[in-house]
Chain A
Amino acid sequence: EVQLVESGGGLVQPGGSLRLSCAASGFTFSGSWMRWARQTPGKGLEWVADIKSDGSEKNYVDSVKGRFTISRDNAKNSLFLQMNSLRAEDTAVYYCARGWYWALDIWGQGTMVTVSS
Chain B
Amino acid sequence: QSALTQPPSASGSPGQSVTISCTGTSSDVGGYNYVSWYQQHPGKAPKLMIYEVSKRPSGVPDRFSGSKSGNTASLTVSGLQVEDEANYYCTSFAGSKYWVFGGGTKLTVL
Chain A residues engaging chain B, CB cutoff 8 angstroms: 35, 37, 43-47, 50, 59, 61, 95, 100-105, 107-110
On whether the beta carbons of B36 and A102 are closer than 8 Å, the reply is yes
Q: With A101-B55, A103-B52, A105-B57 in contact, is A59–B97 under 8 Å at CB?
A: yes
Q: Which residues of the other chain, A, contact B2 by a CB distance below 8 angstroms?
A: 43-44
On whether the beta carbons of B45 and A47 are closer than 8 Å, the reply is no
Q: Answer yes or no: B30 CB below 8 A from chain A CBs.
A: no
Q: How many A-B residue pairs have CB under 8 A?
A: 57
Q: Answer yes or no: B103 CB below 8 A from chain A CBs.
A: yes
Q: B87-109 vs A: 1/0 string, CB under 8 Å?
A: 00101010001111111100000
Chain B residues engaging chain A, CB cutoff 8 angstroms: 2, 34, 36, 38, 45-48, 51-52, 55, 57, 89, 91, 93, 97-104
What are 10 contact pairs spanning A and B, CB under 8 A?
A44-B103, A45-B46, A47-B98, A50-B99, A61-B98, A100-B48, A101-B52, A102-B52, A103-B36, A108-B45
Neighbour of A45 across the interface among B34, B47, B93, B101, CB < 8 A: B101
Give Cα A107–Cα B57 distance, bound, in whole angstroms. 14
On whether the beta carbons of B89 and A44 are closer than 8 Å, the reply is yes
Residue of A50, A103, A109, A110 with most chain B CB atoms under a 10 A cut-off? A103
Residue of A35, A46, A61 with most chain B CB atoms under a 10 A cut-off? A46
Residue of B47, B48, B55 with most chain A CB atoms under a 10 A cut-off? B48
Q: Which residues of the other chain, B, contact A102 by a CB distance below 8 angstroms?
A: 34, 36, 51-52, 93
Q: Which residues of the other chain, B, contact A101 by a CB distance below 8 angstroms?
A: 51-52, 55
**Closest A-chain residue to B46, C-beta based?**
A107
Q: Which residues of the other chain, B, contact A61 by a CB distance below 8 angstroms?
A: 98
**Closest A-chain residue to B89, C-beta based?**
A45
On whether the beta carbons of A44 and B34 are closer than 8 Å, the reply is no
Q: Which residues of the other chain, A, contact B104 by a CB distance below 8 angstroms?
A: 44-45
**Closest A-chain residue to B92, C-beta based?**
A102
